[in-house]
Amino acid sequence: MTTKLGVRRILVVASGLLAMLLVALWAPQARATDIPLGTAADYSVLFTGPGNPSPSTLTITNVTVDGNVGVGLTGTGNVMFSGTGTINGELDFSGKNAGQFTNTNPFNVGPTSVNYSDPAVTSAFSAVDSLNLSLTGIPGTSLAINGTQTINESAGTLETIGGVTYRVFNVTSYSEGNGNLVTIVGDGSGDPVVFNFSASVLGNVNLGGDVSLTGGLTDDQILWNFTGHGTTSKPASLTLNNDNSLYGLPDVFQGIILAPGWPVMLDNANLDGAIFAGDNANGSLISGDNINVPFTSTPESSTLSLLITALFGIVGLATWRKRAYQA
């Protein structure tokens, strides 16, 4: 016969072990502090333009966007959704409904909803603008990205800003095209890696080629940060085109592209990450783009399964205790 004291000891030990298991399962993997994106982390695409007096248009044509799209257009600015295309998420506008969304193809899929006067969009733009400016002009390791090459995270300058530790590179030249592959090797620290692009140094930038991450780095730890907001008279522009399917390469660009103040065009591009951009010009996501958001907010299914199993264990243990006492 099991004594009440023996049962109580077993329960204390089992409860302690279960508590540690639940904490271990629910806690995220050991990583540095996340990049401070605020509500921007809820979006795959953020685009802004003046809207008035010169309307800006974000064209989304034959594109798959996995995630939400936030638009800061006001006045008569608009989003033109044609295709066939897919938006697996919401389309949120910071401005009130002024007829700025047009869906021209009945075979388009999504967005799941169209929302206006959404304060989350304004908050998201504030967060990315603040992050962009905080990283502008900080010391970094000079880096030329030209052709296929390997970049070691450990070679970047270690900088702590706003409580987040980054490895920072200042890009002095960039020339990547189809057939080129940039491999970024993590150092195991979990620190985000920042590549600063200056409009005054580089002018227009075409992000070609592919990016591969190793050493534990993930898409949401790579920040391609475009600083300087172009120029007043002629803003520098940003394009991404990396269709390398003929070369047998991974055919994907990885990371968060942060370019507030830069006109942007994605053309036949594959991006595992997010893009936050826009300026006094039209923007284009066209010709077979695939944008896959890197952010996650829920435990993996395997973790959930283990949690459920643990909860069933609690119930079983309580039932066994009751029967033991009754015996």
Q: What is the pLDDT of residues 58-80, one digit of tens each?
A: 899 999 999 999 998 765 568 99
Q: Which helix (H) or strand (E) holds 301?
A: helix 301-326
Report field, pTM of the whole predicted structure over 0.95: no
pLDDT at 246: 57
pLDDT at 75: 56
Return the structure tokens found at 166: 């980054």
Count CA atoms closer than 13 A to 254's CA, side-chain side: 21
Residue among 39, 45, 43, 37 at smallest CA distance from 284: 45
Q: Is the pLDDT assigned to residue 264 strictly greater than 70?
A: yes
Give the span between the Cα atoms of 281 and 50, in whole angstroms.
Answer: 8
Q: Hey, which of 18-32, 136-150, 195-209, 294-308 has the most confident mean pLDDT?
A: 136-150
When the pLDDT of each residue in the chain is averaged and rounded to a whole number, the result is 79
Give the span between the Cα atoms of 53 and 220, in whole angstroms.
Answer: 36
Q: For the residues 236-257, what does the mean pLDDT come to?
A: 78
Q: What is the pLDDT of residues 272-309, one digit of tens each?
A: 999 998 876 778 888 888 888 776 543 333 344 444 44
Share of the chain above pLDDT 70, in %: 72
Compare 318 and 120 and report the one with higher pLDDT.
120
Place of tokens 């540690």: 20
pLDDT at 298: 38
pLDDT at 21: 43
Q: Is the pLDDT assigned to residue 320 strictly greater than 70?
A: no
Give the max Cα distance, the chain. 88
Q: For the residues 90-108, what does the mean pLDDT come to?
A: 91
